[in-house]
Structure 1
Amino acid sequence: MKIACLSLVEIFPDYVLGGSQNILRKIILGLRENNINVRLFSPKNDNPKSFIGDVEIENKLSLKGSFPSPFEIPLYELQSLQEELDKISSWADRLYFHGDGWFMRNEFVDSTTISGIHDLVYQESVTSVMFSESDKIIVPSNYLRDTIKSSLSNEKFNQTNISVIKNSIDNFSKSISINDSISNDNLILLFPHRPDIRKGLNNAIKISLEFIHTKNWNSVTLKVPKFNENLDKDEKNSSYIDQELKNEFISSGGNILFHDWIPLNQMSDYYKSGDLTLCPGNFIESFGLVPLESLSNGTPAICSSVGAFREFDGFDGLKVIPYGDTKSFVKKGLELLSSKDEILAGRERVILNYDLNSMIDHYIEVFTNPSFKENYKSNTNQFYSKIDGKNYDLSPWCFINNNKIYHDYKGWLDSFENKFKIIDKEIFFVDNISQKALDEKILISS
């Protein structure tokens, strides 16, 4: 079997620019370890020849090489791209679009195509699910699959062949030591995210400031990566910092340590250097590599209850907090910092349940037999509502916290605060706002 992997953005041999590229790297290496013939194609650039394992990164695709609008290139370059895609299609038995975004489906009409969707945020991935046909779609979480199911018509979803393949966690040390962080002089907080404002850097500074106010430590350090502009291929990235908030944090005894972007082979040591990892943003995560990687190295994590992070509710060593609730972030963080047994239990669960070999085996199964359709298991532990005799479910992109509703795409819906009650999982809306709940896509047809 010959597999061609196509990426819309540049691939680097030693650095990954987010969880999706990390997973692509693992897929490439895993396929080769199973003696599968694989080639990796990425946009043209001036970088010297480089490899992932023994697989050359073939920088042959006439693309802009960054997001958004990777196809924003001269028309003659599109012609060159078409010619290159013809060559690739002729060689490969399978075409794997990592992140997809390939609207040129007519170029692949005679090929077996597999789409790897790693978010439903960017235009490229959203339009791929909606308008581009693939023999198989791979997603990393039930959250992403349920979001697709709830967004499409039943007819459209039934025509879609989706497999959930959980990402793996393998960059952890075999032995770790967990210290009593409460008794340390300095608390070290990690913010290992790219500079997308939605990842929550300013929220992380707020949380760090609140940790100072507990007076448990002489100093609090927040470690933040500086993003290498040469590696930055997403024009939506922004390093905006609330200067007033930053100054307040520093004047209160805090320290923000801006460090170089960490190479992949040093991430384990980086996670072990911290006491607690912060994931406080409102970016709609499709899986959640950072908290799991952190926990696997003995450092617990606290996350916003947004997107696939909600699947970690009840996971030892991880806490999921309503978005923007700074005091709850700190309260739960303090609990984690004094819960060595819970951290160790969570670490073991990550290592057991997110095994690299299992992930690769599942990918090989899908590549070998992409037409196989997995049974869809709906969420039976779901909030629901009855309107005019018809049943509706709470949308997978919505989350209820006490008397409020959070919508992944719209944030907190203030107009619904204190306008509903829940009895045995059934939602009862008051003041005749049931129709508004339908209009806001809080509820979807069962």
Structure 2
Amino acid sequence: MRITMFSINPLYPNVITGGASKHLRSVAIHLGELGHHVRIMCTRIEGSDTRFLWHPNVEVHPVLPFKQPFPQPYAISGHDMAQVVQLMGDALHDADRFYVHDGELLFPFLSERVPTVVSLRDNVYPETLHGGFLFRGHRLILISEYSRKFVLATMGRFFPALRERIVVIHNGIDWDTFRPTPPRDILSVIPVDPTKHKIVIHPHRPEESKGLLQTIAVADLLVHRCGWDTLRVLAPKWLESQNTPELLDFYARVQADIDRRGLTEHVIFHDWVPSALMPEYYAMGDVSLSLGSFAETFGNSVYESLGCGTPAVVARVTTHRELLPPDLIDTVDYADTEAAAALVDDILRTGRRTSQATLDYLRTHYGVQRQLDAYANVILNAEHSTPLIYRHPVLNDDTPFRLAPWCVPSVRGVYHDFNATYADMGALGRLLIAQRAGISRRQARESGIAAAEFDHWFEAGYIVPNSDAFIDE
């Protein structure tokens, strides 16, 4: 088959910039190895508009004139938008299948003549969310159960038939690659000595919501309270081509925080690590941290770190609440710096590594071959689809509402994944926890909860309508 793919992220011959591009590359190469011809259309970057190969059957065309660097890729002229449509239409004229990676192609008419599969890789960025509401394809691939519930509570509220087109395919990780690996070549790239330093890894791109400031706050406690004088925190610098004024401002704030806390010698910013060295990078660490509030749809780095033997301390947000049983991963409430520091201190003192039970669970549930086979099956068997029918739900006093799937009770209050805040929902919160099927406005009023309070929590995104048309448990 001839398969055209779309990525709004720029792609490179030998550099992987994150989980989305990593999985796109794996799926494309797998289809190429099956004998299919894959053409990937992606955003161009200055100096990188030349076609290249990921595989003899996989061509990458970095030609689309979206704005770079991120964010706001659609902040372009009408002429450039027309160029995107022209180039994508040209690439689709002889295609047997169309795969849209991350759902960010906001011209759904392009796929009307080609069986189309779309995947959504995040629940945050506006282009992805907009693409979700515009979905008209044969199948919608989501990468976690959390994302399925999110989509049904948002897009699915207005398109009841959407649930029939959703397929959940968890990200897969190559456990033959991400396994305990003695650090060798990585030591020539990053100036640390595992025999002398206690190493904390922050393996994330530099977005504030990815938790770098939380990692620094934990390091402060480890150095100045727990006495870890040889602590070294490793954090990657972003690719120069992706720097923005906002990112440079964030770096300045981070550096000021490091200086204020007296951590200058303890925090090391290093160049982006080549994908081939990532197993050594993870394994070199004593612990990795993922303490941010970013609403992950999967969160690859946590599980790659665990696979390489390095424990991860993780904020209890989004998918990190569901992908591993709670006894197989170290989690803390978001913004609980004290609890995170205590866990890291214990890991450093005991030298604990990833448990065999955790490794076994990861290998059983999140293997790469299962993922690749599932993607190939969905893409190759895609068919022409009828349009989804929009249905406007009427919300009245008897409509049951429940906690949104992105809200979870905790000892600090109800945590909202997209606000990164805790709220005391009072009597309504207690009712919702006790009656998981939902509470209507009428029932809330009969329990002494004013309509204005009920509506406030709906408008703030803490509760959502609950019916077979909106959410499927």
TM-score bracket for this pair, using the shorter chain length = 0.7 to 0.9
In the alignment, what sits opposite 2:402?
A: 393
In the alignment, what sits opposite 2:417?
A: 408
| Structure 1 residues 27-52: Cα deviation after superposition (integer angstroms, max 9, x where no partner) | 11221222222111212342254322
| Structure 1 residues 238-267: Cα deviation after superposition (integer angstroms, max 9, x where no partner) | 43434453124435x861111111111111
For 1:169-180, what aligned pairs fall within 5 Å after superposition? 169-170=173-174, 172-176=177-181
| Structure 1 residues 110-154: Cα deviation after superposition (integer angstroms, max 9, x where no partner) | 111211110121111101111342222111111111001112354
SS in 2 for 1:91: coil
Does 15-24 or 34-43 show the bigger shift? 34-43
What stretches of structure 1 of length at least 5 have no aligned partner? 374-386
SS in 2 for 1:52: strand
Cα distance in 2 for partners of 1:61, 1:424 equals 48
Residue type matched to 1:58 in 2? Answer: H
In the alignment, what sits opposite 1:82?
A: 85
Of the three residues 370, 374, 385, the one matched with 1:362 is 374
User: With structure 2 as the length reference, what TM-score do the two structures score?
Assistant: 0.81
The reply to whether residue 143 of structure 1 matches residue 146 of structure 2 is yes
| Structure 1 residues 314-341: Cα deviation after superposition (integer angstroms, max 9, x where no partner) | 3555222111000111223345553747
SS in 2 for 1:4: strand
Of the three residues 192, 212, 229, the one matched with 2:203 is 192
Does 124-133 or 354-363 show the bigger shift? 124-133
Cα distance in 1 for partners of 2:245, 2:314 equals 23
Cα distance in 2 for partners of 1:331, 1:422 equals 34
For 1:216-231, what aligned pairs fall within 5 Å after superposition? 217-231=228-242
In the alignment, what sits opposite 2:166?
A: 162
In the alignment, what sits opposite 1:441?
A: 461
SS in 1 for 2:322: helix
For 1:228-267, what aligned pairs fall within 5 Å after superposition? 228-232=239-243, 238-250=250-262, 255-267=266-278
C-alpha contact 1:9 1:233 (8 A) present in aligned 2: no
C-alpha contact 2:179 2:309 (8 A) present in aligned 1: no
C-alpha contact 2:316 2:331 (8 A) present in aligned 1: yes
In the alignment, what sits opposite 1:10?
A: 10
CA separation of 1:262 and 1:317: change in aligned 2, threshold 3 A:
farther
C-alpha contact 2:181 2:279 (8 A) present in aligned 1: no
In the alignment, what sits opposite 1:73?
A: 76
Cα distance in 2 for partners of 1:104, 1:310 equals 34
C-alpha contact 2:4 2:99 (8 A) present in aligned 1: yes
Residue type matched to 1:276 in 2? Answer: V
Of the three residues 268, 271, 288, the one matched with 2:282 is 271
C-alpha contact 1:403 1:418 (8 A) present in aligned 2: no
SS in 1 for 2:100: strand
CA separation of 1:84 and 1:372: change in aligned 2, threshold 3 A:
closer
C-alpha contact 1:312 1:318 (8 A) present in aligned 2: no
| Structure 1 residues 81-126: Cα deviation after superposition (integer angstroms, max 9, x where no partner) | 3332222111211111111221222232211121111012111110
- After TM superposition, give the deviation of residue 358 of structure 1 in Å: 0.4
Residue type matched to 1:192 in 2? Answer: P
In the alignment, what sits opposite 1:61?
A: 64
Cα distance in 1 for partners of 2:426, 2:59 equals 54
What stretches of structure 2 of length at least 5 have no aligned partner? 184-193, 386-395, 467-473
- After TM superposition, give the deviation of residue 273 of structure 1 in Å: 1.1
Cα distance in 2 for partners of 1:425, 1:236 equals 43
Cα distance in 1 for partners of 2:86, 2:326 equals 49
User: With structure 1 as the length reference, what TM-score do the two structures score?
Assistant: 0.85
Does 17-26 or 29-38 show the bigger shift? 29-38
Cα distance in 2 for partners of 1:401, 1:88 equals 49
Cα distance in 1 for partners of 2:412, 2:428 equals 8
More relative contact order, 1 or 2 (CA 8 Å, 6+ apart): 2
Of the three residues 85, 89, 95, the one matched with 1:92 is 95
In the alignment, what sits opposite 2:131?
A: 128
How many residue pairs get aligned? The number is: 428
Q: Structure 1 vs Structure 2: percent identity of aligned residues?
A: 24
In the alignment, what sits opposite 1:42?
A: 42
Does 162-171 or 141-150 show the bigger shift? 162-171
C-alpha contact 2:108 2:134 (8 A) present in aligned 1: no
- After TM superposition, give the deviation of residue 409 of structure 1 in Å: 1.8
Of the three residues 303, 308, 313, the one matched with 1:297 is 308
Residue type matched to 1:284 in 2? Answer: A
The reply to whether residue 346 of structure 1 matches residue 350 of structure 2 is no
- After TM superposition, give the deviation of residue 362 of structure 1 in Å: 0.3
CA separation of 1:397 and 1:200: change in aligned 2, threshold 3 A:
same
In the alignment, what sits opposite 1:380?
A: none
C-alpha contact 2:69 2:242 (8 A) present in aligned 1: no
Residue type matched to 2:459 in 1? Answer: D
C-alpha contact 1:249 1:255 (8 A) present in aligned 2: no
CA separation of 1:280 and 1:52: change in aligned 2, threshold 3 A:
same
Of the three residues 199, 220, 226, the one matched with 1:215 is 226
C-alpha contact 1:404 1:416 (8 A) present in aligned 2: yes
C-alpha contact 1:403 1:421 (8 A) present in aligned 2: no
SS in 1 for 2:3: strand
SS in 1 for 2:153: helix
Give the CA RMSD over aligned residues: 3.2
In the alignment, what sits opposite 2:338?
A: 327
Cα distance in 2 for partners of 1:87, 1:372 equals 19
